[in-house]
Structure 1
Amino acid sequence: MANSKLDNEAREQRILDAASNLIVRQGYDKSTMSDVAEEAGISRGIVYLHFDTKEKLFEALLIREITHYGETWNAYFESDPRSGTIGGIFRGVLNAINSRPLMTAIVRRDKRILGSYLHKPGGMLASLESSSVIPDLIKALQTAGTVRKDIDASVAAHIFDILSHGQLTLGDIKSPDTFPPFEVVMETLADMMDHWLTPEGGGNSEAGKAVLRQIGAAAEAQFEQMKQAKELNEGQES
């Protein structure tokens, strides 16, 4: 029985891996359940045993990607002594987003990859778009003494978004072959943000880490609530 459960979980991950590769390559709208089955090397019937619609398969994939993002960010946060500064936070966020192509597409709201699901009313992406924590994070970091208090938090959050999305979308208008190494760009941007936003005399990075733990826990709880609401809705539909 235990082996059967493990086989079932491994097969589900295999399906999700195949769907991720396929959707990044040709987009959500052009990918079919038959395509996913072929990519995974299994029958279409087995795919439907795990996910009875393409939308449910994609939402399971979104949950996995966002979970992986959180795990990557947490690992970085606990290992980097600078993770409590605003520049360290920026670097950690971009490194975690950049770690998987589909996660990058989610943050970019990439129309080619996400297709018609991007603007689905009540979809997971709509919920994520309305739950940005950056403005609240910067205000909390100001209170903790990690970020200058004379800076408008909403303006700083907007610039944070500009830099983040600019790094992720610049390849749409310039050849990536001309870019400096990603790690070098992230380090330089992090240093610039720390220089601009850290109070004179140095900010309180330990207090910044405490703020991050608190906001991270709240974001994780919100994500769990969203998953539970999705599962409840699916249960009512079935």
Structure 2
Amino acid sequence: MSHPNRERADRILDAAGELLLRMGYRKVAIDDVARAVGIGKGTVYLHWRTKELLFQALMMRESADLTDELLALIKADPAMILPHRMIPGSFLITHRRPLVMAMLRGNADMFGSLGDLALRKQQAEMGAHFEEVMLRRGLIRADVPHVTYALRAATLGFYFGDTVSDEFEGIPLEERAEVLAHLIRSAFEPPGEPDPAAVAEVAAELSSTLEELVSGFRNGIYAHDPAKAPG
């Protein structure tokens, strides 16, 4: 059952997201958010005691929605967890979320003190866990030196390349994802077809890890929900 407080919280977060993209974290005041939703400032504070908590909740919701998209893809096809599909899949989903892109790029102007979000740490841990499971099940080559570093460095170039130079900005996003897939497939995956049992096992393990991540995020978003407040 949806709660009116929850719906109002979501409207506040929607407005905060739009303002954040337009003005940047430092310039947005709780007043602006309240005005955009058509409520009083005090009502925003009912949900989140500080501006920082409000924007952390916004990023948790973005991360939860993004992870849900990834989960849906894995559910539809477990082979989605193969690195040459998972990494470009995440690349596309992330690029369609301007707030997540800004967070990833550590846009200080956009995020102020939120730049060192625990979310980033959590996502890095997830990536490391994913790679370790892949290696164990033979879905990533074991002969690549410093494979985690290599994989991360290769992938990050696709996220940050256009911040260094605009030389390739004419390449459409889908084509960039295809280039990324080709690179990951040829450099990091063993030749031949992957073992279906290994794919199924990793898909199940990764899905349950991602589901836990999402439920943690969703609980955090509304942690100060007035519906839960005593009295």
Fold in common (TM above 0.5): yes
Corresponding residue number in structure 1 for 2:99: 102
Q: 1:164 aligns with which of 152, 155, 162?
A: 155
CA shift for structure 1 position 138: 2.1
SS in structure 2 at match of 1:29 = coil
Q: Per-residue CA shift, 1:84-139, capped at 9, x if unaligned? A: 321011112212222311112222222221112224xxx5347536x523233223
Q: Does 1:37 align with 2:28?
A: no
SS in structure 2 at match of 1:133 = helix
Corresponding residue number in structure 1 for 2:21: 24
Residue ranges of structure 2 left out of the alignment (5+ in a row):
none
Q: 1:67 aligns with which of 55, 64, 70?
A: 64
Corresponding residue number in structure 1 for 2:12: 15
TM-score, reference length from structure 2: 0.81
Identity %: 26
State which drifts further: 169-178 or 101-110.
Answer: 169-178
Q: 2:137 aligns with which of 144, 162, 167?
A: 144
CA shift for structure 1 position 20: 0.9
Q: CA RMSD in A?
A: 3.0
**What is the count of residue pairs matched by the alignment?**
224
2:134 maps to a residue whose letter is: L
Matches of 1:176 and 1:104 in 2, distance apart? 20
Corresponding residue number in structure 2 for 1:87: 84
Matches of 1:223 and 1:84 in 2, distance apart? 17
CA shift for structure 1 position 159: 2.7
Report 1 or 2 for greater relative contact order, CA contacts < 8 Å, sequence distance ≥ 6: 2
Q: Does 1:58 align with 2:55?
A: yes
1:166 maps to a residue whose letter is: G
CA shift for structure 1 position 61: 1.0
